[in-house]
């Protein structure tokens, strides 16, 4: 069973700072990590929202999302399956997103998409494997869901652009870095890689006070 994220972000922050002096500099400027699981997560609704929002600006996606939800008396897989294609297209779904939404509904009804109660019984690998079976849902979408909604404590989305940029600036002096190198380095952050990811994203915030994020040259370690 997957353990939840600690409610007190100081726990992850203290442990990460103790094992990685580079990340400690970021933590010192940012403060505690506020990541906590959402109180209740309906995977069907969360993934439907992700599908609708893909490659759209926020306001446009929000309007389409609201129109789709408004057509269902209860926002669930069975209700979506009962809607005609024409209605969903009129609400703003593209042909590809319509196919993805239909596939999501079908995989929810056949239990490929686990219920809220069953999620905690799956390993991270099993959860990713099952959710990415849905058309249009890839590892990045699942990683974001796991970190920000499900409260999985040890997720490292190494292919994310922001993660790669932050890691490059903090550990490589701006040189390019491959996801595999980030994953190797991130082993030292286990089992708090979700919090470490959050700190990497926050390190890119231009509003943060500037400070030294690197240890002295003699102690700095290469990720690979």
Does 161 have pLDDT greater than 70? yes
Q: Which of 119, 184, 178 is nearest to 152 (CA)?
A: 119
- Residue 154 annotated in active site: no
181 and 142 assigned to the same domain:
no
Distance CA 17, CA 13 (A): 6
Q: Residue 118: what pLDDT?
A: 87
Q: Residue 130: what pLDDT?
A: 96
81 and 177 assigned to the same domain:
no
DSSP at 146: I
Q: Which of 119, 150, 181 is the last residue of a domain?
A: 150
142 and 48 assigned to the same domain:
yes
108 and 62 assigned to the same domain:
yes
168 and 223 assigned to the same domain:
yes
Contact indicator for 151, 38 with CB cutoff of 8 Å: yes
What is the CATH classification number for the domain harbouring 206?
1.10.1670.40
Q: Which of 132, 150, 168 is the last residue of a domain?
A: 150
165 and 194 assigned to the same domain:
yes
165 and 132 assigned to the same domain:
no
Q: What is the mean pLDDT of residues 26-36?
A: 88
Q: Give the count of beta carbons closer than 10 Å to the beta carbon of residue 150.
A: 24
Q: How many domains does the chain have?
A: 2
144 and 47 assigned to the same domain:
yes
* Own/partner pairs, 5-12, CB within 8 angstroms, 24+ separation: 5/35, 5/36, 5/37, 5/151, 5/152, 5/153, 5/194, 5/195, 6/153, 7/36, 8/32, 9/33, 9/34, 9/35, 9/195, 12/153, 12/192, 12/195, 12/196
E strands within the chain? none
Distance CA 148, CA 189 (A): 18
Does 216 have pLDDT greater than 60? no
Active-site residue, from 160, 205, 213, 224: 160
146 and 48 assigned to the same domain:
yes
Q: Which of 150, 173, 202 is the last residue of a domain?
A: 150
User: What is the chain's mean pLDDT, rounded?
Assistant: 88
Place of tokens 């239909």: 102
65 and 143 assigned to the same domain:
yes
199 and 165 assigned to the same domain:
yes
DSSP at 187: G
Confidence of residue 222 (pLDDT cuts 50, 70, 90): very low
- End-to-end Cα distance, the chain: 31
- Encode pLDDT of 37-92 as tens digits: 776 679 999 999 999 999 888 899 999 999 999 999 999 999 999 999 999 999 99
- Encode pLDDT of 170-199 as tens digits: 999 999 999 999 999 999 999 999 999 999
What is the CATH classification number for the domain harbouring 91?
1.10.340.30
171 and 214 assigned to the same domain:
yes
Distance CA 153, CA 4 (A): 6
- Encode pLDDT of 136-156 as tens digits: 999 999 999 998 888 888 999
Confidence of residue 209 (pLDDT cuts 50, 70, 90): low
Of 209 and 215, which is predicted with more confidence? 209
What range defines the domain where residue 136 resides?
43-150
Q: Residue 5: what pLDDT?
A: 54
The model's pTM: 0.84
Q: Residue 207: what pLDDT?
A: 80
Q: Which of 107, 125, 2, 4 is nearest to 51 (CA)?
A: 107
């Amino acid at each position: 069973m997957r353990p939840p994220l600690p409610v007190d972000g100081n726990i992850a922050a203290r442990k990460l700072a103790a094992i990685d002096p580079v990340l400690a500099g970021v933590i010192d400027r940012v403060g505690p990590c506020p990541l906590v699981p959402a109180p209740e997560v309906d995977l069907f609704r969360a993934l439907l929202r992700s599908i609708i929002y893909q490659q759209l600006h926020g306001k446009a996606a929000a309007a389409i999302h609201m129109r789709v939800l408004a057509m269902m008396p209860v926002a669930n897989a069975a209700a979506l399956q009962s809607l005609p294609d024409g209605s969903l297209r009129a609400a703003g779904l593209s042909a590809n997103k319509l196919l993805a939404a239909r596939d999501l509904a079908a995989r929810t009804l056949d239990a490929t998409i686990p219920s809220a109660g069953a999620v905690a019984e799956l390993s991270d690998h099993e959860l990713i494997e099952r959710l990415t079976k849905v058309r249009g849902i890839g590892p990045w979408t699942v990683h974001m869901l796991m970190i920000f909604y499900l409260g999985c404590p040890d997720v490292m989305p190494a292919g994310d652009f922001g993660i790669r940029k932050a890691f490059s600036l903090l550990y490589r002096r701006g040189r390019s870095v491959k996801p595999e190198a980030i994953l190797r380095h991130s082993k030292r952050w286990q089992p708090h890689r979700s919090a470490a990811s959050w700190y990497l994203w926050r390190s890119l915030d231009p509003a943060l006070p500037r400070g030294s994020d690197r240890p002295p040259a003699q102690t700095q370690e290469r990720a690979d």
